[in-house]
């Protein structure tokens, strides 16, 4: 994944700033990735939980603009300067990822060359990594599966399996919202990977710090996650829901 922003991402960031971030207080909804960017002046953001059992996954990504040494980026668990300072950097030049359990997270920023992905999430592995496959039914309301202990790093040497079907014989849409799974040599999936099977299709997914959605369609899904004995990362968030389309209509 490139560390810079495309034109589309920049437009999305600016629209998001105008719509929500100008208020500076953001209530994160469970399992909804949200992007935040600095509107080119000093500003503070306060992120608040809507689920006490969830944790914040926060990833700061540098932009393409030259880094200003006079700028700063401070990350607190808690409310502003009254919180616990977890990270401070005068010139952020690489991707940084944190997981925070506190009910409030604050960012004090005076640095235009960055943007931040945030996600409020909790473990939705459903026991699929304990040895037996887990059978799940898709509904019109979106459900989620994750790696064990998500959004914290997943365990090494796990084999997880989810079987997703529709009780109404309708098609299912499966969406990968976040992917941070160890890659192998030459960026292949030789180490850890997700395998998604549906009908006659089989896809392998791995990659680091990927927030771009990837969508799959089918009348059922068999999802496996395999990790080797080293190199664990933060894992994945996958949503699935039933469509108003019967198999025979396709």
Regarding the domain with residue range 134-249, which homologous superfamily does it belong to in the CATH classification?
Spermadhesin, CUB domain (2.60.120.290)
Q: What is the pLDDT of residue 42?
A: 72
10's enclosing H/E stretch is helix 7-19
pLDDT for position 239: 98
Tell me the C-alpha distance between 4 and 2, whole Å: 6
Whether the CA torsion 168, 169, 175, 176 is positive or negative: it is positive
**What's the pLDDT tens digit per position in 32-81?**
999 887 655 677 888 999 999 999 999 887 766 655 556 677 888 887 66
Region of 169 (left: φ > 0; alpha: ψ -120 to 50; beta: rest) is left
> Hey, do 7-121 and 134-249 end up sharing a CATH topology, with the first three levels equal?
yes
Instruction: Please state the domain extents for the chain.
Output: 7-121, 134-249
Residue 36, both tokens: 């935040």
Exposure of 235 in the CB half-sphere (CA atoms within 13 A): 27
Is CATH 3.40.50.720 the classification given to domain 7-121?
no
At residue 224, the pLDDT reads 98
pLDDT at 194: 98
Mean pLDDT, 10 residues at a time, the chain of 250 residues: 53 48 73 80 83 92 63 79 78 77 85 79 95 95 97 96 94 97 90 94 94 94 96 96 72
């Amino acid at each position: 994944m490139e560390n810079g922003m495309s034109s589309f991402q920049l437009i999305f960031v600016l629209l998001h700033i105008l719509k929500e971030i100008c208020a500076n207080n953001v209530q994160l909804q469970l399992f909804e990735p949200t992007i935040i960017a600095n509107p080119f002046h000093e500003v503070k953001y306060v992120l608040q939980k809507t689920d006490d059992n969830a944790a914040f996954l926060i990833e700061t990504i540098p932009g393409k603009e030259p880094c200003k040494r006079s700028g700063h980026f401070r990350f607190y668990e808690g409310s502003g300067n009254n919180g616990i300072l977890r990270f401070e950097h005068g010139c952020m030049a690489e991707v940084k990822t944190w997981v925070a359990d506190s009910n409030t997270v604050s960012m004090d920023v005076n640095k235009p060359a960055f943007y931040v992905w945030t996600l409020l999430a909790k473990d939705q592995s459903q026991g699929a990594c304990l040895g037996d496959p887990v059978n799940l039914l898709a509904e019109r309301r979106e459900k989620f599966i994750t790696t064990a202990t998500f959004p914290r790093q997943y365990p090494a040497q796990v084999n997880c399996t989810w079987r997703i079907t529709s009780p109404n014989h309708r098609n299912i849409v499966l969406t990968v919202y976040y992917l941070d799974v160890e890659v192998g040599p030459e960026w292949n999936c030789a180490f850890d990977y997700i395998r998604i099977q549906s009908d006659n299709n089989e896809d392998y997914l791995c990659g680091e710090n990927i927030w771009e959605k990837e969508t799959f369609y089918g009348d059922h899904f068999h999802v496996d996650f395999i990790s080797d004995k080293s190199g664990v990362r933060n894992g994945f968030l996958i949503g699935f829901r039933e469509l108003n389309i019967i198999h025979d209509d396709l």
